Structure 1
Amino acid sequence: MKTNKITQAMTVLFLAGVALPAVANDQDGWYVGAGGGAALATIDEQEIRTDLMNSGYQVTEFREDDGDFGYKLFGGYQFNENFALEGGYFDLGDFSYQATTNPAGMKSGQLDFSGWNIDAMGFMPFTQRSSLFALIGVHRSKATVDFSGTGAVNVLTPHYSKTATDYKFGVGYQYQMSQRFSFRLAAERYRMDDAVGNNGDLDFYSLNLVYRFGGSSHSPGPVVQERRPVAPAPAVATAEQYCSSLEIEFEIANDDIQRVNSEHMRVLATFLDKYPETNAVIEGHTDNVGSEADNLQLSQQRAQAAVDYLVREHDVDRDRLTVVGYGETQPVADNSTTAGKQANRRIHAIIGCATDIEGLEPLPARISLAMELEFDTNDATIATKYHQELDSIGKYLQMNPELTATLEGHTDNSSPDIAQQISRARAQSVADYLVQNFNIDRSRLNVQGYGSTRRDTYNTTAAERQDNRRVNIIIGYPK
């Protein structure tokens, strides 16, 4: 059996070491995958006719089957966003022909092609989730050719088999569906020896699923701590690259940007303003309470709220911000605990790195402190145990007359009217304490009551209900 030498070139894209734009999540580490699709060969009809004619036969009819289903199994290691090594097993199926002759007879041929390969792969990300890739490699494959003859056609050597090493190359597209799964579309060309002394090519077009066992992220880690957060300063990623990242948490069933997170959003906006070539992906997440559909919608709302805030408050171009909602599918903590649920109700913002040897100068320091006081059921009396901390707040406000404080009151389960009344009374009692004991001007104190609309926990236990009966004091923000 013979195949044509196909000379059409397939462009090989950038391979290892090319500097390319960063994606949201670097998927370094081990992975496995499987795929299948169409394998195609071009059977050299003219040469087969010529061989038969030289043997005294005239071909009256020629039929061929030049396509089959092929598959491959593979595994590899991703070194960075641009380079991976991959190896695996492939079987590209069977290809055959039948030539009817005069004198009456028939000659048939069938080629089987399978083997092992190792490839070097280069990736070129062009969105946060999508990449083009190219590969070049070698394969150790076995080509088996079987011939048969009927009637007047006599086949002297019916079986040929040869194992050889040759090259392969290809191009494709990869899309990251989730932290673990990606799919690929690939077009590959295998150079082959067909076991009867002819070199040719087989083309393989496949759809593949990739599973990653884990990896590292080159983005900076969390930069906001619960309750007493610190504004997220950009971190140096390399000698000449500056990156920024942001994580903020949300109250139950809520997508509002809280005051304690406003400063962190401001630092993020400053980074985006200084580096107008960078973009940000805003990812929303939830805990696992409620339906998957509702949580997916809530996570998208949270991400959208962050985008809207950056556009509205800081004039960030909306085209530079991408919204993604993951619902409950990517927890960072155990949803069986209250603290874990709260950690999972979050926004994660990933911002592209910028090159600027001068770096990013942080904003002039503005206070971003938060203190939380808890209360008894339906009570607005400040417990004695909080007096010492409140005294520290009062003295700090005395020493810094330009600062203001926002007092946010909250409750556990109550009727809406009672909840609003109690929550505001709690915030007002803290304001009265600061005025009476430290002579703080009331114009510097912003009193807000939120009732039970902003819960930290689910009110299922006495301890959780206690957590929701609280006043938050946030210093450093104007009314």
Structure 2
Amino acid sequence: MTHARTSVALACLALGGLATPAAFAQDAGWYAGAGIGSAATTVDDERIRNGLLNQGLDPVSMAEDEREAAYRLFGGYQFNRHFGVEAGWFDLGRFGFAASTFPAGQLTGDVRMRGINLDLVGSWPLTERLSLLGRAGLIYAQSRGSFGAAGAVSNPYGVTSRSERDWGLKLGAGIGWQLSPAWQLRAELERYRISDSVGNKGNVDVASISLVYRFGASGSMQRVATTPGAVPGSPGAQTGVPGAAGTMSPPPGAAASTAPSPAAAGTAPSPSTAPAAPAAPTTRVQFSADALFDFDQATLRPEGQRQLDAFAQRLRGVRVDGVLVTGHSDRIGSTAYNLRLSERRAAAVQAHLVQAGVAAATISIRGAGETQPVTTPADCKGNQPTPALVACLQPDRRVEVEATGTR
């Protein structure tokens, strides 16, 4: 049996929302997944017929099984948004044939193919959710064949079963659809160059659908449209979060600014109403994104976690009305990618604040991308991501956390 090139038709996915304005960024980290699909090959019936003719037999009919269900399990590590490495186990199914002859006889055979693979996987984000995928790798496969002969036919293989283990190559391409930061759906076409159990080498083509889970990613893709400087749930409010002396000092490594409250400006409560709870100015803390994250990443560094823990500590004992987390990026890269990166960084800060004890219902997030830079083109010249430009644009890479509340 040999496996010649086959064309495999892959149904197109219905992809809604391809015009979304941001590209999804895959962060570094581990992932795992499972897939199911259809494997196809071509039985070399001409070789089988010639073998029967050499025995003085006339082939009458040939039944072939050239398509089987395929399965795979895999895990990998994503180095950045473009490259990762993946290892897995695959089962391509069982392929076979049954040939009838005159004088009366029958020759049957089948082969099952399983193995392991190691691939280099590349991805290229196109939109917020859609990415192109490509892969190349090595396989180590076992092909186990079974053969039978009856009537006037002699078994040309000399044995009723044979097993072959060999190295081969694998290529593939496809698309990935991001269901959430943690879950991705993949549709792929792959070609396995593999040996069968009687020494022939050929191709098995596989069309598959896979579900991938990324460990440590946020479970939802949240986007909140808010007005800068205002916290949802308290429109126009400028009540503050008191610290030890009525205002909250920023954690180490963060800058803070405050806006005066009506009480601080001398406005007295109406005589007909009860005195309001003590309030302090709105506190806005600005964190350097480079202190919280590695460059071009959205996974919190240990130092960034400590800064956010210090911020959350100052919120304890305070009735928090709202916390607005705004992510910003520099101008390096596409506008769509930078917007999504700023949103993911804001989501990472939100997730850590919740772990640190801040009520999830009080936190809203937004991504500003590169739209609110601190630097100017005259300050930081150039468009290529040189070390000098990356360093100059550092102030633009930031996360602002604005908290309002009462004692």
TM-score normalised over the length of structure 2: 0.59
Q: CA deviation at 1:224?
A: 8.4
The answer on whether the counterparts of 2:6 and 2:205 sit within 8 Å (CA) in structure 1 is: no
Structure-1 separation of matches of 2:45 and 2:356: 68
Compute the RMSD of aligned alpha carbons.
4.7
Residues 150 and 351 of structure 1: is their aligned pair in 2 closer, same or farther, counting only changes over 3 Å? farther
Q: CA deviation at 1:360?
A: 5.8
Q: CA deviation at 1:229?
A: 1.6
Structure-1 separation of matches of 2:370 and 2:128: 10
Match of 1:63 in 2: 63
Residues 230 and 109 of structure 1: is their aligned pair in 2 closer, same or farther, counting only changes over 3 Å? same
Question: Which amino acid is the alignment partner of residue 131 of structure 1?
Answer: S
Match of 1:182 in 2: 184
State which structure, 1 or 2, has the greater radius of gyration over its C-alpha atoms.
1
Structure-2 separation of matches of 1:159 and 1:58: 25
Describe how 1:1-400 pairs up with structure 2 within 5 A. 2-6=1-5, 23-155=23-155, 156-214=158-216, 227-229=282-284, 278-279=335-336, 331-334=351-354, 339-341=358-360, 343-351=362-370, 355=384
The answer on whether the counterparts of 1:92 and 1:113 sit within 8 Å (CA) in structure 2 is: yes
Residues 223 and 148 of structure 1: is their aligned pair in 2 closer, same or farther, counting only changes over 3 Å? farther
Structure-2 separation of matches of 1:89 and 1:151: 40
Question: Which amino acid is the alignment partner of residue 99 of structure 2?
Answer: A
Question: Which amino acid is the alignment partner of residue 346 of structure 1?
Answer: I
Structure-1 separation of matches of 2:80 and 2:95: 39
The answer on whether the counterparts of 2:94 and 2:113 sit within 8 Å (CA) in structure 1 is: yes
State the Cα deviation string for residues 51-76 of structure 1 (Å, max 9, x = none).
Answer: 11111111111111101101011111
Question: Which amino acid is the alignment partner of residue 208 of structure 1?
Answer: S
Structure-1 separation of matches of 2:359 and 2:5: 59
Q: CA deviation at 1:185?
A: 0.9
Percent of matched pairs sharing the same residue: 31
Structure-2 separation of matches of 1:182 and 1:151: 54
The answer on whether the counterparts of 2:135 and 2:173 sit within 8 Å (CA) in structure 1 is: yes
Question: Which amino acid is the alignment partner of residue 79 of structure 2?
Answer: F
The answer on whether the counterparts of 2:290 and 2:394 sit within 8 Å (CA) in structure 1 is: no
User: Per chain length, whose mean CA-contact separation is higher, i.e. which structure has more relative contact order (CA < 8 Å, sep 6+)?
Assistant: 2
Q: CA deviation at 1:341?
A: 3.2
Residues 151 and 355 of structure 1: is their aligned pair in 2 closer, same or farther, counting only changes over 3 Å? same
The answer on whether the counterparts of 1:24 and 1:281 sit within 8 Å (CA) in structure 2 is: no
Question: Which amino acid is the alignment partner of residue 2 of structure 2?
Answer: T
Question: Which amino acid is the alignment partner of residue 176 of structure 2?
Answer: Q
Q: CA deviation at 1:128?
A: 2.7
Residues 31 and 157 of structure 1: is their aligned pair in 2 closer, same or farther, counting only changes over 3 Å? same
Structure 2: gaps of 5 or more residues:
8-21, 219-252, 259-281, 299-318, 374-382
State the Cα deviation string for residues 193-224 of structure 1 (Å, max 9, x = none).
Answer: 112121111111110011111269xxxx9998
Residues 225 and 117 of structure 1: is their aligned pair in 2 closer, same or farther, counting only changes over 3 Å? farther
Match of 1:289 in 2: none
Structure-2 separation of matches of 1:335 and 1:55: 76
State the Cα deviation string for residues 273-313 of structure 1 (Å, max 9, x = none).
Answer: xx896237878xxxxxxxxxxxxxxxxxxxxxxxxxxxxxx
Structure-1 separation of matches of 2:187 and 2:403: 53
State the secondary structure of the residue aligned to 1:157: coil
Structure-2 separation of matches of 1:215 and 1:223: 28
TM-score normalised over the length of structure 1: 0.51
The answer on whether the counterparts of 2:28 and 2:80 sit within 8 Å (CA) in structure 1 is: yes
State the secondary structure of the residue aligned to 1:167: strand
